[in-house]
Structure 1
């Protein structure tokens, strides 16, 4: 009996001692599979990533299958047009299927947005007419993006003083814009017909019809008085024309009086504590933009312009900043435009 007891104790000690030599692996009940692109041009790769429920990466240990066939590594390229079902397997756990689409480029389209540039001034009594028209457009569509370009009134002692002036007189002359204020321009080179509130369909129509062959997305942050931003432009066809990128810093929520000679806003003059929105503070690229070289505007390519600049000194509140980025062709026409807030990470708006 004593001998049996000793044998049992010895066995327990062996088990206890050995237990410290082995790590019990946590079983995976589900894994997530993602791709860096869900739509790709034939001949270009798609890269896959696998993570567990905690967000820990398992890509190197996982196996990947396309239409049930195992592939080497975690990238896949197709030379034929079609839809492909992708799954990943890790430790006998299979991910939910993921669909990716390969096309020849003719199917790449992007969400269509349009730009309204409102040349205005706090001193300009007829300018609320265009501001009201912009409000009417925004009531009809989310695809119209406005910027208010104030000027010219830099002298505080002048009756035409405007604290938000950004002098674009040289640009207006070079672009042969109509003289005087107010004036609205649609997609940079189409003058908004007078009276603008009666012609909002002219603006809305520019959000309709054939979709553009390039899309814009921004990723940005503001810290310690500095702006860090990437502007990405993806191309759905080969562009050989001289394209330019224009990037604006605008500000909302600026409170200042506004003269009003119109019947809008109850016909009151002055409009005290008027809220001025989407006010141009600085064009990071200059008003005429920066050239994008032709070798970066091919189908399926994404052009990236990185900015690391100080917040414009005329910004009153960085929390009210927005960014507007758009691409113009050689005629000055806006091909597509996008608006973004600091801290936002945007995806290209593929259709």
Structure 2
């Protein structure tokens, strides 16, 4: 009888344990901790009476919009769209699992202004020899997972001599420019909109880049029309102005190349922590700045509201380009401080329209 009671107790304990395990696996889900979320809007400037739609993503680029809550000027709204019938600026935040996004501003106007789609530039000073440089490359990938409005260029350096430890076959010497701009020494370094240093560690600070695609829209837009034939580039770069600019504007145009295969040293934990990264694909590599690194001046009489400035290029494809099929063009306008006002990327054969809002 005693043995029977003991067996019965053991059976009850086993069943209870199983119920606890089953209950835990059924009722609870372990959620991945989020410490950083990104909030973006499909429009930073909108005409009154029309909606703005918000999106929330995590650092990996996975969308969290349906689970997030949205607040406009501190007041919770239903869903992820907002419409205003009055002119003004509104501060928007999102909350997901008790994590609050950085705020962004949206502006409602009455339709009389001229605004353009806002894009931002990332300049990545890098090298194939530089083991810490994949950190910035990874951060750029994270930014591109979040937005199509970030345009990157990889500026390789500093060595052209194969016998040097700093040799990079894609080197474009920008040392004089870096000195003139008072850029930080060493590699890697990332700069946003030309003269804002990307905070270290860049993969943890992607919101710094994404924030530059949000907020007040620029008052100028860029569009390109181009073709390549018989080893020559023919291109028109058009810049339209939505207000009178009295300061000294400059146009900068890059030729970049994608799909370049070469080894990359890697001392980081990214890319599985492998060193060397053999057959690594290097993209948006600077091949030649058609205007020089500092750009060409746009005369003040061509920067008035409603005007379109056109710069025509008829030049040979840079000799260092490996495959013309992988060329892209990047054009941007900088102000008198050297900061990018707006930027655009284009492929050969593309005819772009100005991105008016």
Asked if the contact 2:38–2:57 (Cα under 8 Å) also holds between the matched residues in 1, the reply is yes
Deviation at 1:55, TM superposition (A): 44
> Cα 1:271–1:334, aligned 2, differ >3 Å: closer, same or farther?
same
Residue 45 of structure 1 is matched in structure 2 by 51
Asked if the contact 2:71–2:92 (Cα under 8 Å) also holds between the matched residues in 1, the reply is yes
After superposition, what is the alpha-carbon deviation per residue over 1:232-254, rounded to whole angstroms, capped at 9, x for unaligned? 00000000000000000000000
Specify every segment of 5 or more residues in structure 1 that has no aligned partner in the other structure, as ranges. Answer: none
Deviation at 1:159, TM superposition (A): 2.4
Asked if the contact 1:106–1:236 (Cα under 8 Å) also holds between the matched residues in 2, the reply is no
Secondary structure at the counterpart of residue 27 of structure 2: coil
1:85 aligned onto 2:97: no
> Cα 1:197–1:346, aligned 2, differ >3 Å: closer, same or farther?
same
Corresponding pairs, count: 351
- TM-score, normalised to structure 2's length? 0.70
Report the more deviating stretch, 64-73 or 173-182: 64-73
After superposition, what is the alpha-carbon deviation per residue over 1:293-323, rounded to whole angstroms, capped at 9, x for unaligned? 0000000000000000000000000000000
> Cα 1:94–1:224, aligned 2, differ >3 Å: closer, same or farther?
farther
- TM-score, normalised to structure 1's length? 0.71
Match of 1:271 among 277, 284, 291: 277
Residue 203 of structure 2 is matched in structure 1 by 197
Asked if the contact 2:123–2:154 (Cα under 8 Å) also holds between the matched residues in 1, the reply is yes
Asked if the contact 1:105–1:236 (Cα under 8 Å) also holds between the matched residues in 2, the reply is no
1: CA distance between counterparts of 2:270 and 2:28? 78
Specify every segment of 5 or more residues in structure 2 that has no aligned partner in the other structure, as ranges. Answer: 1-6
Asked if the contact 1:244–1:329 (Cα under 8 Å) also holds between the matched residues in 2, the reply is yes
Report the more deviating stretch, 203-212 or 7-16: 7-16
> Cα 1:28–1:345, aligned 2, differ >3 Å: closer, same or farther?
farther
After superposition, what is the alpha-carbon deviation per residue over 1:306-349, rounded to whole angstroms, capped at 9, x for unaligned? 00000000000000000000000000000000000000000000
Asked if the contact 1:106–1:237 (Cα under 8 Å) also holds between the matched residues in 2, the reply is no
After superposition, what is the alpha-carbon deviation per residue over 1:7-30, rounded to whole angstroms, capped at 9, x for unaligned? 999999999999999999999999
Secondary structure at the counterpart of residue 20 of structure 1: helix
> Cα 1:249–1:43, aligned 2, differ >3 Å: closer, same or farther?
farther
Secondary structure at the counterpart of residue 3 of structure 1: helix
Deviation at 1:3, TM superposition (A): 129
Deviation at 1:160, TM superposition (A): 1.8
Deviation at 1:153, TM superposition (A): 1.2
Deviation at 1:36, TM superposition (A): 26
Deviation at 1:71, TM superposition (A): 48
Q: Which has the larger radius of gyration?
A: 1
Moved over 2 A (4+): 1-106
RMSD in angstroms over aligned alpha carbons?
17.3
